[in-house]
Structure 1
Amino acid sequence: MSQQYPVVGIDVAKSFCFYAILTPSGEQFMKSFKAFNDKDGLDFVLRQIKKVEHAFNRKPAIVLESTGHYSQRIVHFFCNRGFKVFLINPLISHSIKSSLIRKVKTDKVDAEELARLFFLRPLQEFAKQEDYCFSLKTLSRAAVLLSEQRVTMINQLTAAVEQVMPAYTRVFSNVASDTSLKLLIKYSSPHALQQAPKDEIVSLIRIFHIVV
């Protein structure tokens, strides 16, 4: 299949990408170029790729490394427009590229080498997902990550409070509860908490619960 398709290699960055386009025989089709990852930049990329389609009467294959959410945006942009996309594990691409003699290291060179991987070994085509599935998966990953970060922060807060106010956790077993956090914000030291009038503390707790 690699001998039948032109190929576009993409070196992905946060705000822009470098693109290298090769013919089905592995020759450079046009000079590598840079385009920003906004509407104008991607429209420009599509116009350049149209030249490839007209020249070879078929859409080129798209090859890029997996770089987290930066590459995911580019993958779905091309998948939604009917391109065959090949998303490569960086460990695989790096091991192959490191075996090649590289006199220079630039984004343009990386884009071209990614394109050449299409001719060097069989690649697995990216399986396009429905947009809602992709969004759900992205949000689920974010929720899990935030949950893990929250647990870590609560553990760190509890450890700090136990050092500064050892008796505090006898009253508030959950240091991160809303009431506990409200008190810690207002009385951030044992002395401040001990010197605060009891009525003031009770009033603060009562007001907070009413607001909640």
Structure 2
Amino acid sequence: MFYLGIDIGKRHHEAGLINEKGDPVGKTVRFANSKSGSEKLLEYINKHNVSLDNCSCGMEATGHYWLSVFYFLHNLGFKITAFNPMQSDALRHFYIRKTKTDVKDAYLIAQVIRIDSPDETPFVEDDLLQLRQLERLRYALVDQTSDIKWKIIALLDQVFPEYEEIFSDVFGVSSTEILLKYPLPEDLLTIDTDQLAALVFLMEQKCLKCKSTYCWNR
């Protein structure tokens, strides 16, 4: 039985092969994160007479860089496990080391597959994977937006503490327009009350005419 460990990188990966006793089989191979790199990995596998029946593969689920290798090996029919390195007891101890090399990492990942015998990672269709990534992006943007809003409110509390009493929604269309034109209390004092009311009315009318579901102010 063989165990193939792949250390994932942004542009290049490192693959190492061990046998059922945990001994390295030949040297590791470094291959690019590309089609030609995948073909180089396949040559390495064939060189050591590795087949679908006698090999289990493992790799770190590092960012999105592991996906192309995962799909390549999956399409060939190999059993693959993609895992978070910090979820493995063996890797957790390893990652507190002061030094780190791709070659040792590849062998270590292979050892984790040999010792822990983790479950195979299920194949995820491209459409579902893209939906998950979009969902993560949306949550990240929502978090960033909330953080920025809190920072704006904190600044307003310092320079214009009465502002929140004027507008129920600080980030509404009228409030936003006024802050863009008159960011300080003394700026508002320079304009006529009728002029300010006209500006608010104009902004509200624009908002009512906006039919976009994704309007910032909805």
Q: One fold, TM greater than 0.5?
A: yes
Q: 1:207 to 1:151 in 2, by over 3 A?
A: closer
Q: Secondary structure at the match of 1:35?
A: strand
Distance in 2 of aligned mates of 1:103 and 1:114: 18
- Cα pair 1:97 1:113 within 8 Å, conserved: no
* Structure 2 spans left out of the alignment, 5+ residues: 211-218
Cα 1:182/1:10, change in 2 over 3 Å: farther
One-letter identity of the residue aligned with 1:126? T
Question: Which residue does 2:108 correspond to in 1?
Answer: 113
User: Residue type matched to 1:15 in 2?
Assistant: R
Structure 1 length-normalised TM:
0.76
CA distance in 2, matches of 1:95, 1:15: 26
> What is residue 42 of structure 1 aligned with on the other side?
38
Aligned partners of 1:49 and 1:113: how far apart in 2? 18
Instruction: Name which of 13, 16, 22 aligns with 1:20.
Output: 16
- Residue in structure 2 matched with residue 166 of structure 1 by the alignment: 161
Distance (Å, rounded) in 1 between the aligned partners of 2:171 and 2:78? 49
Classify 1:103/1:33 alpha carbon distance in 2 versus 1 (closer, same or farther; 3 Å).
Answer: farther
How many residues in Structure 1 have an aligned counterpart in Structure 2?
Answer: 204
Q: One-letter code of the match for 1:58? A: L
RMSD: 3.1
1:89-168 maps to which residues of 2 (within 5 A)? 89-93=84-88, 95=90, 98=93, 105-168=100-163
Task: Give, in angstroms, the shift of residue 85 of structure 1.
Answer: 0.9
Measured in 1, the distance between the counterparts of 2:146 and 2:19 equals 52
Amino acid at match of 2:121: F
Q: Report matched runs for 1:16-95 at 5 Å.
A: 16-52=12-48, 55-58=49-52, 60-93=55-88, 95=90
Percentage identity across aligned positions? Answer: 27
Return 120-129 or 189-198, whichever deviates more.
Answer: 189-198
Match of 1:181 in 2: 176
2:131 corresponds to which letter in structure 1?
L
How far off its partner does 1:122 sit?
Answer: 2.1
Deviates most, 65-74 or 120-129: 65-74
> What is the distance in 2 between the residues matched to 1:15 and 1:208?
51
Q: Distance in 2 between matches of 1:103 and 1:158?
A: 43
User: TM (normalized to structure 2)?
Assistant: 0.75
Structure 1: 5+ residue stretches without partners: none
**Is the Cα–Cα contact under 8 Å of residues 80 and 120 in structure 2 kept in the other structure?**
yes
The AA in structure 1 aligned to 2:8 is V
Distance 1:73 1:209, change over 3 A: farther
1:114 Cα offset (Å)? 0.8
C-alpha displacement at 1:9, in angstroms? 0.8
Matched to 1:129, the amino acid is V
Alpha-carbon distance in structure 2 between the residues aligned to 1:163 and 1:110: 51
